[in-house]
Structure 1
Amino acid sequence: MTETEFNQLTDETFRRIESALENADGDVDFELAAGNVLEIDCGAGGKIIVNRQIAMYEMWVAAKSGGFHYQWQDGAWRNSRDGSELFTSLARMVAEQGGGTVTFD
């Protein structure tokens, strides 16, 4: 994957996350800063940070439950430790931090 392809893929990923958050049924707000850091505010439950790491070709997530690295494998962002999928994991993290239910299409 080239850097251009990675940036296009992560831009699409950010758009998908933003779309799901806009339709969430809980207390969640978000802001994309500098085009590469998405800050998800789950109210009293704290924040979740999603960002792209261009040098590593990874998406990184920081949440109360820990820090996670996701690599593009077989058409999905997969956790480098346990293989879990980014959108499934992110929905769980938002719920755990009190941000309500987020559904990804």
Structure 2
Amino acid sequence: MNESEFLNLSDRIFDQIETALDAGEFDVDLNRNGNVLEIEFEDDSKIVVNRHAANQEIWLAARSGGFHYRLQDGAWKSTRDNSEFFTQLTELIHNQTGATPTF
């Protein structure tokens, strides 16, 4: 995939996250600035989703650590343990809010 395709795919991921969190009953603030989407919670903690075009990866940072995801067989898979991006993001948001988003 070329850089333009990666940027389009990652834009869709950001859009999907924003749509799901706006549609649900989540008390979060969403801040999107270029390559970064911040999800800020009531306690001022954050989950940060970042796209890294050079590696064609989506990076996810939370209190529990940092994760890198690469597109493999149509899904964004962790470079560390092969977990799926939206599964991990759902768990992280649930841990923060007690609610479970649907992506």
Is the pair's TM-score, using the shorter chain for normalization, greater than 0.5? yes
**Structure 1: where are the runs of 5+ without partners?**
none
1:10 is matched with 10
1:82 equivalent in alignment to 2:92? no
Percent identity reads 50
Distance 1:60 1:67, change over 3 A: same
Deviation per CA, 1:45-77, whole angstroms, max 9, x where unpaired? 610000100111000000011000000001011
So what's the TM-score if we normalise by structure 2? 0.92
Deviation per CA, 1:71-93, whole angstroms, max 9, x where unpaired? 00010111111111111110110
8 Å CA contact 1:27, 1:100 repeated in 2? no
Equivalent residues in 2 for 1:1-105, closer than 5 Å: 1-34=1-34, 36-44=35-43, 46-98=45-97, 100-104=99-103
- Give 1:33's aligned amino acid: N
Cα distance in structure 2, aligned partners of 1:72 and 1:100: 27
Provide the secondary structure at the position in 2 that maps to 1:43: coil
Provide the secondary structure at the position in 2 that maps to 1:6: helix
Cα distance in structure 1, aligned partners of 2:88 and 2:29: 18
So what's the TM-score if we normalise by structure 1? 0.91
Cα distance in structure 2, aligned partners of 1:76 and 1:68: 15
